[in-house]
Structure 1
């Protein structure tokens, strides 16, 4: 739950738990893309990985996080 401009500690813990499902590279790429709004091509340059690989490193975590949300956060 968001209270004012803040996320509750419980929600922060659940977010961390969900992000811990990701490999270190998936987590880094996901947070760069979704958290900071960096483009796939820029992430690829920063990490030394091709843009298509970055797309996969974003798509896979989104599926993992959606499954976690479905199983743990909804309802």
Structure 2
């Protein structure tokens, strides 16, 4: 019998909105914009504008996901 085990992927079950919200809560927009230098974090930032950009831009999304993983494993 094969029992399902919890995923070891730290992003499992996390939406992009949850990830961005937690990063903003942890770092704030200003520091987040300094860590990941993309306009959606520096120029009139909002969760919705960031999500729109990150969903269309794989390299930026990867940076956000990597920062999230680093921040929760500290």
Bin the TM-score by the shorter chain. Answer: 0.3 to 0.5
Name the one with the larger helix percent.
Answer: 1
Name the one with the larger strand percent.
Answer: 1
TM-score normalized by the length of structure 1: 0.34
